[in-house]
Structures are given as C-alpha cells and as structure tokens.
Amino acid sequence: MPLSGHSSDLSLADLVQANIHGRNTCRVLVASGDRRGAFYLADGQVVHATFGDLEGSDAFSAMLAAPEAHFQVDSGLVAKRRTISRDWQALMLEAMRLADEGRLPQPRTAVSAELDAIGMRGEGSSVAGSATAPDRQNNTPEQASQKRAISLRAMLGAVATVVLVMAAASAFVLLGKAGKADGPSSTGVPNDAVETVESSALKGPGDVAPRVVQQIAPRSPDPSLALSPTIVCRVLVNERGEVAEASIFRSRLDLAAFEDAALDAAKKYRFEPGRKNGRPVRVWINLPVSFE
C-alpha cells in the first residue's frame, strides 16, 4: 500500500534520508501546485529524478525546495533509466547550496512522457487528489495529529537512527554554508569540490580512513555514578581533519547527559584526514567515545 503525505508533516529532505538509511528501493511521486515530478531510489541511493521539464540532479534539487508538496511513496518500484550518479550526500549538499544561493533550477509545468505514462497529469492525479489543501484545512487538530503520527511511524519504522535522520537536514544547511564561507581549503582543493563518503567506502589502494591524532576525554556528568558507558557518535571529518558535524548514533533517553558530554568531546577531536584515490575527502565515521 502506497504511503502518502505532505511536506508540512514530513519534509521531502527527511523523507529522502529515511529511505536512504533504510536502504530502500522505491519511487516517490511529488506534486507541488501545477508541477509534477518523481524520484527513484535503488538500495538507498537516488538514481533518477524528473520534475516538470527538468531531469537528474536539477530536478531533484528543485523538488526538495518545492513548497506545499504532496508525495506518494511506492515501494519496490525500479527506475527504467539512471540520470543521477552522485552519492546522496553530495546530492543533498548541492540542493541545499543552490537553495541558499537562490540559484535553484525552475521547472516548467510540462509533464514528461514518463509521468504521463503513470497517469500523473494534473490536479486529479493520485498524489495531488489524495490530500488537497482544503481537505487538510478541514481536519480537526486531533485528526491531523493522528495522520502525522501514522505517516511518521510508517516511514521511519525501518530507520535505526531516527535522531540522525531528523537532524540531518539542518546539518546539511550548516555544512553548505561552512563550505561557502571557508573558501579554498588548506589542501588547495575548493570546498565544493571535496567529495563526501562513508568510511566503509574507503577500501581501494589509494584510500585512507581518518585516524585520530588528538583525543579528548569526555567529562562525566556525574562522577559519583558507577557508570562508564561508551557512546557512539556519528562524526563528519573534513579534509583538514576537523570535526565538521557530530550527532549521536542510536540515542538513548536514559543516557542523554552522557551523550551531551560525549558530543562535546567528539567535536574537539582531531584526525589525520581521509583520502580516496589519493585525494582528500570528507568522511562520515562512527566514533566510540568512552567514559573511564
């Protein structure tokens, strides 16, 4: 059964990240005003997108910023062609950068032959017709709250790192702004040209994972407690060996105070930067922070 929703309940950026972290294969139909589009994921990677007359990464970037967007997720559907080859992190960063600079591609309202073939032509389509703005306004607060809860549970149930998913959109915005403000990096490579990868992808002969060169011991929130947990932080190490972003991997409410202390320590770590094919890259790693 397809999952339908609206961007005011779950943003398209969060929807994309939920499916990415769940390594899902699906098609997502999008309707915003008189514009229609769709993007496809295969095993958690965005592989194809169309929006109006746009295709590829331009279509994807425009869809993420589309206002008042209705969406429908159809699991298991595979794209017939591929127009996007960039990794999802670079794709999301590019979309946020274009939005921040006011240079988002603007689609015309034409519907591609591909979308016409699946019956997505106008306001009567399955996406736009399923939850129009007047219908949403007629919902009682209790009904709206219940629908939001059902949609969120259905989409995020397969995602182990819920906190990471919900915080990632703001992290991408901050990283995009930092990349613009910093100018050329100390490696001589412009920030917007530095690739972002997962540490698990660094397996080639010219690949090097980040290595800790300065470790900061976390301060226990209560030294009187006979508790010394190990907190796993999700850390982005930039091309200079600095921690560009940090969050908790699989957060636990009962360890919230320890998690805050672990994050404070993790942000002060320094690394030998990672490299892919001999070139500097930004690398996402899982960093265990232990209280001793």
pLDDT in tens, 30-68: 998 888 999 999 988 999 999 988 999 999 999 888 888
Q: What is the pLDDT of residue 241?
A: 94
For residue 92, tell me if it sits in a domain: yes
Q: What is the pLDDT of residue 114?
A: 59
Bridge-based pairing state of the strands 275-276 and 69-75:
unpaired
The answer on 230 and 141 residing in a single domain is no
CA 278 to chain centre: 26
The answer on 194 and 97 residing in a single domain is no
For residue 178, tell me if it sits in a domain: no
The answer on 192 and 124 residing in a single domain is no
The answer on 126 and 20 residing in a single domain is yes
Q: What is the pLDDT of residue 193?
A: 73
- Angle between helix axes 12-21 and 141-156 (nearest 10 degrees) is 30
Q: What is the pLDDT of residue 161?
A: 41
Q: How far is CA 2 from CA 144, 154, 215, in A?
A: 19, 11, 47
Please say which residue of 124, 159, 194 terminates a domain: 159
For residue 166, tell me if it sits in a domain: no
Q: How far is CA 54 from CA 49, 62, 75, 93, 198, in A?
A: 8, 9, 23, 19, 29
Q: What is the pLDDT of residue 250?
A: 82
Q: Which domain holds residue 12?
A: 3-159
The answer on 76 and 112 residing in a single domain is yes
Tens of pLDDT, residue by residue over 219-239, are 888 888 778 888 999 999 999
The answer on 150 and 194 residing in a single domain is no
Please, are residues 243 and 237 in contact by the beta-carbon 8 Å criterion? yes
Q: What is the pLDDT of residue 117?
A: 53
The answer on 198 and 123 residing in a single domain is no
CB within 8 A of 159, min separation 6: which ones? Answer: 18, 21, 22, 165
The answer on 208 and 253 residing in a single domain is yes
Q: What is the pLDDT of residue 115?
A: 62
Count of domains in the chain?
2
The answer on 235 and 108 residing in a single domain is no
The answer on 245 and 134 residing in a single domain is no
Entry pTM: 0.44
For residue 170, tell me if it sits in a domain: no
Please say which residue of 159, 194, 214 terminates a domain: 159
The answer on 107 and 251 residing in a single domain is no
Tell me the C-alpha distance between 146 and 150, whole Å. Answer: 6
For residue 151, tell me if it sits in a domain: yes
Strand order in the sheet with 26-32: 3-6, 69-75, 26-32, 35-42, 45-51, 54-55
Enumerate residue ranges in the chain where pLDDT < 70.
1, 109-192
Q: What is the pLDDT of residue 1?
A: 66
The answer on 13 and 146 residing in a single domain is yes
The CATH number given to whatever domain includes residue 268 is: 3.30.2420.10
Collapsing DSSP to helix, strand or coil, 113 comes out as helix
Please say which residue of 120, 143, 159 terminates a domain: 159
